[in-house]
Amino acid sequence: MNVPIIDLKANYNSVKQEVDSAIQNVLDDGAFVLGKYVEEFERNFAAFCNYEHAAATNSGTAALQLALIAAGVRPGDEVITTPFSFFATAEAISLCGAVPKFVDVDPETYNLDFRQLDGALSKRTKAIVPVHLYGQPADVDEIVDFADEHDLRVIEDCCQAHNAVYRGKKIPVAGTGCFSFYPTKNLGAFGEAGIVVSSDDELIDKVKLLRAHYERPKNVHNDIGYNYRMEGFQGAILNAKLKKLDEWTEARRNNAKLYNELLKNLESKITLPKEKSYVKHVFHLYAIQAERRDELKTFLEGKGISTGIHYPTPIHLQPAYEDLGYKEGSFPNAEAISKKILSLPMYPELAREQIEHVANAIREFCTTTP
Ligand SMILES: Cc1ncc(COP(=O)(O)O)c(C=O)c1O
């Protein structure tokens, strides 16, 4: 049996009619860049998150960069974040001319450990970017308390956590969050797309200026901006797919529950994801830890099961950040996790038999290797 890590075709087939007619509408109206479908999506997605305003961009990276600039992050400032995320989290900080300052992660949730924030603070610290990794919200309340105490902005990286809930509130919790709609995400476009959601109307307005050459009124540019506009096709497709997000989120959670049940006897050999009691994890990824991770990955490949590693190298050890002076040993938790982490197949359309096949294969590996 073949079990891909993600199945974008199955996902398309489950919304084919709605998506096809959304695409046709864009063609008929010629609304190719921003325009009415993107505006409709901004309203719908903001409302979905229980916010009033959002600004659509052409990627999650662009959303993070523009939100940081609009929040006042300037060249030479420092922004605290996690070393255990996709590279784009730190990259967005660098794109503002600011410097990422990393703090280690909690070994259970893999999210930024708020207890270590103090060690990264300096006079130049301007903001904190927590990431809701794999779909599990970070400890936002404690992070916001720290930020308030030191007059810092909090911009949440929600790129992997659409529809996640923290203490009864949908993310973003602290007021401003950035999402990616890269095709593999829980809500995926058919191309590149992202959005900033915020309760700060001025910030949203600034992002809208920045994403389109800082032009207002027409032909007047009061500052240097970017071309980070969302395409009409993506807005229309995302509008159609958003209606399914609750259903898809529940399917992901049910799949995770089944993995948990089938794998729980193997907990002496592998570590399962730990969902905190006060959050709703949306399982963008279902990642386990295994001592012999690389062997397990190869073994599963032999059984037709594809897996992923998110992420094999923590950001502070990436060549691009060599000049920041971090070393192996700087963040022991992130480094240890990166050596053992393995993402199993996870998507809403995953069938029970496929999950059983994955679990059986992992059991076979665990019981036949020392
Ligand atoms: C945690 C995180 N941050 C940022 C990004 C960047 O989003 P995008 O690929 O849409 O630029 C991604 C996804 O790729 C992500 O997973």
pLDDT at 369: 80
Mutate to test the pocket of ligand 1, among 6, 58, 61 (most ligand atoms within 8 A of CB): 61
Amino acid at 324: L
Residue pair 232/91 in contact (Cβ under 8 Å)? The answer is: no
Mutate to test the pocket of ligand 1, among 86, 283, 343 (most ligand atoms within 8 A of CB): 86
pLDDT digits (tens, 9 = 90+) for 72-129: 999 999 999 999 999 999 999 999 999 999 999 999 999 999 999 999 999 999 999 9
Considering the chain, tell me which residue range(s) the CATH 3.40.640.10 domain(s) occupy.
Answer: 8-242
Average pLDDT for residues 134-158, to the nearest whole number? 98
Q: Name every residue whose Cβ is closer than 8 Å to that of residue 259 and which is 6 or more positions away in sequence.
A: 272, 286, 344, 355, 358, 359
- Whole-number percent of the chain with pLDDT over 70: 100
Q: How many CA atoms lie within 13 A of 74 on its CB side?
A: 2
Question: Running DSSP on this structure, what letter comes out for residue 24?
Answer: H
Peptide bond into 172 cis (omega under 30): yes
Average pLDDT for residues 209-218, to the nearest whole number? 98
Q: Which CATH class is domain 8-242?
A: alpha beta
- Binning the chain into helix, strand and coil, the percentages to the nearest 5 are 45, 15, 40
> Which CATH superfamily is 245-368 part of?
Aspartate Aminotransferase, domain 1 (3.90.1150.10)
Question: Running DSSP on this structure, what letter comes out for residue 85?
Answer: S
CA distances from 283 to 162, 213, 261, 286 (A): 10, 36, 15, 6
CA-proximal residue: ligand 1, atom 7 (nearest): 60
| Rounded distance from Cα 361 to ligand 1 centre (Å) | 30
| Rounded distance from Cα 63 to ligand 1 centre (Å) | 9
| Rounded distance from Cα 86 to ligand 1 centre (Å) | 6
> Starting at the edge strand that comes first in sequence, how are the strands of the sheet with 99-102 ordered?
99-102, 78-81, 125-129, 153-154
What is the torsion angle, in degrees rounded to the nearest 10, for the CA atoms of residue 229, residue 282, residue 88 and residue 72?
Answer: 70
Residue pair 233/23 in contact (Cβ under 8 Å)? The answer is: yes
pLDDT category of residue 355 using cuts at 50, 70 and 90: very high
Peptide bond into 311 cis (omega under 30): yes
Strands 286-290 and 270-271: antiparallel
Residue pair 215/225 in contact (Cβ under 8 Å)? The answer is: yes
Separation CA 284–CA 299 (nearest Å): 23
Mutate to test the pocket of ligand 1, among 182, 284, 343 (most ligand atoms within 8 A of CB): 182
310 bridge partner residues? none
Considering the chain, tell me which residue range(s) the CATH 3.90.1150.10 domain(s) occupy.
Answer: 245-368
* Residues contacting ligand 1 via CB (< 6 Å): 59-61, 85-86, 88-89, 131, 157, 159-160, 180, 182, 194
Estimate to the nearest angstrom the gap between the alpha carbon of 231 and the chain centroid: 20
**Range with lowest mean pLDDT among 62-66, 264-268, 357-361:** 264-268
Q: Which atom of ligand 1 is nearest to the CA of 194?
A: 10
Ramachandran angles phi, psi of 131, nearest 5°: -115, 135
| Rounded distance from Cα 132 to ligand 1 centre (Å) | 11
Q: Which atom of ligand 1 is nearest to the CA of 284?
A: 16
Separation CA 11–CA 41 (nearest Å): 20
Amino acid at 207: V
Q: Helix, strand or coil for residue 264? A: helix
Q: Which atom of ligand 1 is nearest to the CA of 193?
A: 10
pTM above 0.95, yes or no: yes
Average pLDDT for residues 232-259, to the nearest whole number? 98
Average pLDDT for residues 254-266, to the nearest whole number? 97
Amino acid at 250: E
CA-proximal residue: ligand 1, atom 12 (nearest): 159
Estimate to the nearest angstrom the gap between the alpha carbon of 112 and the chain centroid: 14
pLDDT, mean over the chain: 98
Instruction: Determine the longest span between alpha carbons in the chain, in angstroms.
Output: 69
Residue pair 5/346 in contact (Cβ under 8 Å)? The answer is: yes
54 bridge partner residues? 197
- What count of residues does the chain have? 370
Q: Which atom of ligand 1 is nearest to the CA of 61?
A: 11
Task: Work out the number of other CB atoms within 10 angstroms of the CB of residue 108.
Answer: 14
Estimate to the nearest angstrom the gap between the alpha carbon of 119 and the chain centroid: 25
Residue 370 pLDDT more than 80? no
pLDDT at 325: 96
Residue 316 pLDDT more than 90? yes
Q: Which atom of ligand 1 is nearest to the CA of 185?
A: 13
